[in-house]
Amino acid sequence: MKRVAVSVAVVVLSASAGWADDVVLPQQKPGLWEVRSTTPSIRTERWATPEFRSTYRYCRSPAGRPAEMSKEMSDAVAKLGSCSTATVTRSGTDYVTTADCRTPRELFQSRAVYSGDFRSQLTIRSYHVTDGKTVLVNVETERRIGECPATK
Annotate 86-118 with DSSP letters as a single string: EEEEEETTEEEEEEEEE-SS-EEEEEEEEEE-S
For the chain, give the number of residues.
152
Reported confidence tier of residue 18, pLDDT bands at 50, 70, 90: very low
Q: How far is CA 127 from CA 29, 58, 64, 140, in A?
A: 25, 24, 23, 12
What pLDDT, on a 0 to 100 scale, did the predictor assign at position 134?
79
Tell me the C-alpha distance between 30 and 20, whole Å: 25
What pLDDT, on a 0 to 100 scale, did the predictor assign at position 151?
62
What letter does residue 56 receive in the DSSP assignment? Answer: E
The domain locations on the chain are 2-146
Q: What integer best gives the mean pLDDT of the chain?
A: 77
Beta bridge partner(s), residue 98: 87, 111
47-68 mean pLDDT: 79
For the stretch 82-131, pLDDT in tens is 777 678 899 999 999 888 888 777 788 888 999 999 999 999 999 888 87
The pTM assigned to this predicted structure is: 0.70
Reported confidence tier of residue 64, pLDDT bands at 50, 70, 90: low
For the stretch 30-40, pLDDT in tens is 999 999 999 88
For the stretch 98-111, pLDDT in tens is 888 887 777 888 88
